Chains A and B, each alone.
Chain A
Amino acid sequence: MSSTRARPDRRAIALAAALATSTLACSRELPAPIPAASPDDAEPRRGGVLDLATFGDLRALDPANVSDGMAPQILETIFAGLVDYDADGKIQPDIAERWVVEDGGKTFRFFLRPNVRFHDGEEVTADDVKRSVVRALHPSAPNPYSPYYASIVGYADLAAKKTDELVGVEVEGKYVVTFRLTEPDATFLYVLAMLPLRPVCKSAGDRYSDTWHPCGAGPFKLPPDGWQRGHTLTVVRHEGYFRPGLPYLDAVRWTFHQNPSSQTLRFLRGELDVIKDLSAADLLRFQADARWKPFGEYDAERQILGEAMNVRTPPFDNVEIRRAVAKAIDREALQKVRAANLRATNQVVPPGVFGYDPTLEGQRYDYEGALEHMRRAGYPYDPVTKTGGWPHVVPYTVYKMGLQDFTGQVLKQQLERIGIRIELRVVNYPTFIALRGRRDASPFGPGFWMNDYPDAMSFLEPLFHSKSIADEDSSNWSFYSNPRVDELLDQAHRELDDDRRKKLYSEVQRILVDDAPWAFTQNYRFYTQRQAYVRGHRTHPMWVHDLTRTWIDRAAGSVAGRSILSERSFAALLGTSRAAAPARSPREGR
């Protein structure tokens, strides 16, 4: 009797032990990378499919409708532009082999390469360029970036539906197209290199349509059934691509809605070739492993994180309070919340963007200085008795599960030390976005911004120019208005000389550091881990990956996974005793 009663208990213990063993095994060291077949051979080879994944999804695939974070890296592979950004974020020729700037920066004349082919075999001409521009800027297109091109002559009438013509874009020959602007614009080439105005095939027609099958002149093309919505998207090589011999890959495949842990498992099994959605723990594991580290790299920093203070509402209508906040934040301590992805900064422009000023004496942690500013503001705080300071609790609106949901906790403690007590109000992301852009709705909250093009103007104008203030949907979240900043930014917009424009940006930054509408705290750094057999891959400051020159050097049949369940734990899990099932080792069968 006793033996029969005891059996299930033993099994229960064995099962629990197996579970515990297996769970612990999850945290063991990473398997070795799958090696390249011929690591010493630097000559690229054609062929292979590059597999990528993301936890996000793709909403639309049309240059005239770019509104989600996934679209740019895919659109970049399908649509070539007149100009593009190189790996350092500088403007480089693409379909246009050269251009001239005339009329003091008000006219840009582009000379197209002859014999550039769309995916349908048609040649790209100046007419196609103009048709694509009008299609993208026509009010019928849901193009969120249209206002970036407001300086093109005739844009206002087109946007107001007074005409269907855009007089500022002129076809001056089969391969010559000219853009005329209402005023000189130093950022025009940057915004032109963005995706919205890229030439689209004639099948796109003159007006935006949801049902159009994407077709451009980029290095890859989308086959008819290439996009399984919500699942995968596969692009295949465009054999008629105008750069001879490129791209090397046969195809690139993205898998959507894949959570980071599944991505990591698939990557370790060799089913994904490049991975970006790494959890903080996995990122550190890859970095700490000398076998994997050579195949990982940080992307260029394009994002500023900080604390946006609404200068119209108390207590931040007092510049001394804002200065106190900027000095009270210990950026090194905040950075530790996600050390692998954050880097402390003292200015608005990130290092990977034109206009970054390494010589700038930016905002820095200075506790005594912060207390002094509180005293000057009329709210002195005594850290010994913990009395004084701002007498009211300041609401800090933050969204659930964002990074700032965590950094906000640290911020709360740091500001308490100068007598500013904040209360975290956690809302969901859409509500957060709505509240932050609404006048007087939120006195304080996290600010974050990623550049749309690699120039300081992409940060300074939307965040701090007074023309970016609106009652709703204001991108100037601190509702900061300074005529001198406006004047300098307008001047920089017209300044075609890079050195002089950079000086103007530095002057704006100095004012912002002192006026402190934001406390600038961190740059976010994305990390890319690739397999050893992925060759020629580079991260790109705007398009995430540079896939045109990526090639695959994988030995046939390689599989990275390995079984780490011991025979005993596996047998226990199945409820058998010593007649253990063999643990499979795919590596042995390779």
Chain B
Amino acid sequence: MKRVLRRLAWAVFVVWATVTIAFLVNHALPSDPARMIAGQQAPPAAVAKIRSELGLDRPLWSQYGRFLRRLVHFGPSSFEKTDPQHGSCANAGPLHLDLGRSYQQRRPVTTILAERAPRTLLLAFAAACVQALIGVSAGVFAATRRRTSADRLAVGLSMLGVSAPTFVIGLFLQWLFAYRLRWFPIDGYGETALEHLASLVLPAITLGVFGAAYYTRIVRDEMIGELSSDYVRTARAKGLGPLQVTVRHALRNAMMPIVTMFGLEIGTLVGGAVVTESVFRWPGLGSLSVNAMLDRDGPLIMGCVVVTSTAVVLSTLAVDLAYAFLDPRVRRSGSS
């Protein structure tokens, strides 16, 4: 428990440090959010008015102080969305999270993130599952048929998967399975649960194919090491079948790097599926954060940074905890 609390405190520090660096970098860039709001042809007077309205003419320390004060604070448990003080907050009882209003959309950033984050998490989780499923199967398959054509094919395809740019895979899958075969929607998110699932398939596979290649390589190498271990030889000598030896013994011991990758991949995918989201018009955080950067939409940028850094830190934490579950040695060293 103490270890978990220590890790949580560290996680909060990492998120704060990331957010602060992002805030400073965003402020240091030689561009003007007010100009991006007003449009490139707006007269200077209109730009100045917007700059003043948004408080962008205040000193940096003042803007940063206000951002931190508002980020997490206490307030009323219920309030109207038109409330000038708390209208942009998301709350759990009296605990408020306020990331301000998007410069461009003029809506609370928490509302925008609440719309987008679940979709990105869904895509990230589905993609990580596809990666793990394909990658682990191919890796085990290759390891158990070492130095055969099957092994070389699996390794070759994994090289192809790593080498092919995501947008090429995405466009090809879109063209084939959506445009020609009409099995899935060309893009979008759909309206019903069934449509969401149908829309999820191609982007999840696109991301999955790319990531599965890494899994294949790692699982293959790990499994080759485990399969040549003494305990595997002993298990075989005791008369256990190949499936039991491979899955129950060797694979379980090869799981550590797989779990690490799975956790980190989910964290990375939350903020990083930009290309896939763009190709398939998946309304997630990736495209949102890129557009926020291009528009210099400060509050939205900070909101995306908070969510993605939190996701990465939490998934890392989950991986740490999973180690303890999978390997008693980690559990024991942690308690001692």
Which residues from chain A contact B104 at a C-beta distance below 8 Å? 59, 68
The residues in A between 71 and 96 inclusive whose CB is less than 8 angstroms from any CB of B are none
Asked whether any CB of chain B lies closer than 8 Å to the CB of A262, the reply is: yes
Q: Is B217 an interface residue (CB 8 A)?
A: no
- Interface magnitude class on chain B: 35 or more
Give the segment of B37-45, B129-137, B236-244 that binds chain A: B37-45
Q: Least Cβ distance of A432 to chain B in Å? A: 8
Q: Bound state CA distance, A154 and B156, in angstroms?
A: 74
B184 on interface, CB distance cutoff 8 Å: no
Q: Does B228 sit within 8 A of A, measured CB to CB?
A: no
Contact pattern, B 278-291, Cβ under 8 Å of A = 1, otherwise 0: 11110100011001
Chain B residues positioned under 8 Å from A68 (CB to CB): 39, 104
Q: Specify which of B42, B105, B295 is in contact with A60 (CB 8 Å cutoff).
A: B105
**Cα A57 to Cα B112 with chains together (Å):** 14
Asked whether B50 lies within 8 Å of A142 as measured between CB atoms, the reply is yes
Cα–Cα, bound, A455→B93 (Å): 57
Residues of B within 8 A of A9 (CB): 149, 153
Chain A residues, Cβ within 8 Å of B174? 261-262, 265
CA distance A59 to B291 in the complex (A): 12
B186-194, B263-271, B307-315, B326-334 - interface stretch: B186-194
Query: A143 — nearest CB in chain B belongs to which residue?
Result: B46
Verify B47–A473 contact, CB threshold 8 A: yes
Q: Are B182 and A22 in contact (CB under 8 A)?
A: no
Cα separation A265 to B185 with both chains bound (whole Å): 11
Give bound CA distance, A142 to B45, whole Å. 12
A147 contacts across to B, CB distance below 8 A: 43, 45-46
A120 at the B interface (CB under 8 A) = no
Does B30 contact A435, Cβ atoms closer than 8 Å?
A: yes
User: Smallest CB-CB separation from A23: which chain B residue?
Assistant: B172
Q: Which of B35, B171, B287 contacts A257 (CB 8 A)?
A: B287
Cβ A434 vs Cβ B31 within 8 A: yes
> How far is A142 from B53 in the complex, measured between Cα atoms in Å?
9
- The residues of A that contact B148 with a CB separation of less than 8 Å are 5
- Distance from B333 Cβ to chain A, minimum over Cβ atoms (Å): 43
CA distance A473 to B39 in the complex (A): 11
| Any B CB within 8 A of the CB of A586 | yes
B35:A434 contact, CB within 8 angstroms: yes
A8 contacts B41, C-beta separation under 8 Å: no
Q: Are A473 and B35 in contact (CB under 8 A)?
A: yes
Alpha-carbon separation in the docked complex, A26 to B179 (Å):
11
B281 touches A257 (CB 8 A): yes
Against A, the Cβ 8 Å flags (1 = close, 0 = not) of B222-239 are: 000000000000000000
Chain B, residue nearest A269 (CB)? B179
B283 near A231 with CB under 8 A, answer: yes
The answer on a CB contact under 8 Å between B149 and A437 is no
Docked complex Cα distance between A450 and B41 (Å)? 8
Q: How far is it, in angstroms, between the C-alpha of A235 and the C-alpha of B246 when the chains are bound?
A: 60
Nearest chain B CB to A2's CB is how many angstroms away?
10
**Min CB distance, A207 to chain B, in Å?**
13
Q: How far is the CB of A466 from chain B (nearest CB, A)?
A: 13
- Please tell me the number of chain A residues within 8 Å of chain B, measured between CB atoms: 65
Cβ A261 vs Cβ B50 within 8 A: no
Minimum distance in angstroms from A559 CB to a CB of chain B: 9
Asked if A122 is an interface residue, CB under 8 A from chain B, the answer is no
Residues in A whose Cβ lies below 8 Å from that of B50: 142, 144
**Which chain A residues in 459-492 approach chain B with CB under 8 Å?**
462, 468, 470, 472-475
Say how far A190's CB is from chain B's closest CB, in angstroms: 15
Residue B2 lies at the interface, judged by CB distance under 8 Å to chain A: no
Q: Give complex CA distance A8, B291 in Å.
A: 44
Is B82 an interface residue when CB atoms closer than 8 A count as contact? yes
Which residues of B lie under 8 Å from residue A7 when comparing CB positions?
Answer: 149
User: Assuming the A-B contacts A265-B178, A434-B31, are A67 and B39 also in contact, with contact meaning beta carbons closer than 8 angstroms in the complex?
Assistant: yes
Which residues of B have CB within 8 Å of A584? 181-182
B146 within 8 A of A: no
Set of chain A residues within 8 Å of B278, measured between Cβ atoms: 257, 259
Give A165 to B156 CA distance when docked, in angstroms: 74
| A46 in contact (CB, < 8 A) | no
A6 interface hit (Cβ, 8 Å): yes
Contact of A258 among B53, B182, B281 (CB under 8 A): B281
- Cross-chain contact of B37 among A67, A271, A573 (Cβ < 8 A): A67
Instruction: Tell me which residues from 140 to 182 in chain B have a Cβ below 8 Å from any Cβ of chain A.
Output: 148-150, 153, 156-157, 171-172, 174-176, 178-182
Minimum CB distance partner of B108 in chain A: A210
Residues of B within 8 A of A474 (CB): 44
Chain A residues positioned under 8 Å from B180 (CB to CB)? 561, 563-565
Known: A59-B105, A147-B45, A428-B294. A262 touches B279 (CB 8 A): yes
B97 sits at the interface (CB 8 A): no
Docked complex: A1-54 residues within 8 A CB-CB of B: 5-9, 12, 19, 22-23, 26
Interface centre among A68, A257, A435, A470 (most CB of B within 10 A): A257
B233 smallest CB distance to A (angstroms)? 25
B107 at the interface (CB under 8 A from A): yes
**Bound complex: CA A494 to CA B48 (Å):** 28
Asked if residues B175 and A26 are in contact (CB atoms below 8 Å), the reply is yes
Q: Which residues of B contact A262 (CB under 8 A)?
A: 174, 186-187, 279-281
Considering only residues 193-219 of chain A, those with a C-beta below 8 Å from chain B are: 210-211
Indicate if A369 sits at the interface (CB-CB under 8 A): no
Smallest beta-carbon distance B300→chain A, Å: 11
Q: Is B201 part of the contact surface with A, judged by Cβ < 8 Å?
A: no
Cβ-based interface call for B296 (8 A): yes
Q: Is B5 interfacial (CB 8 A cutoff)? A: no
Let me know if A437 and B35 touch, CB within 8 A. yes
CA distance A143 to B149 in the complex (A): 67
Asked if residues B35 and A475 are in contact (CB atoms below 8 Å), the reply is: no
By a CB distance below 8 angstroms, the chain B residues around A431 are 29-31
Question: B49 contacts the other chain (Cβ, under 8 Å)?
Answer: yes
In the complex, which of the residues B49, B104, B280 has the most CB atoms of chain A within 10 Å of its own CB atom?
Answer: B49
- Cβ contacts under 8 Å, A518 to chain B: none
From the candidates B36, B42, B149, B178, name the one contacting A145 in the complex (CB within 8 A): B42
Q: A65-B106, A586-B182 are in contact. List 20 more A-B contacts (CB 8 A).
A: A12-B156, A22-B172, A22-B176, A144-B47, A147-B46, A210-B101, A229-B107, A257-B278, A259-B187, A262-B174, A265-B174, A269-B186, A429-B294, A430-B31, A431-B29, A431-B30, A433-B36, A449-B41, A472-B32, A473-B35
Smallest CB-CB A-B distances: 9 pairs: A430-B31, A144-B42, A144-B38, A473-B44, A144-B46, A434-B31, A147-B43, A210-B106, A470-B44
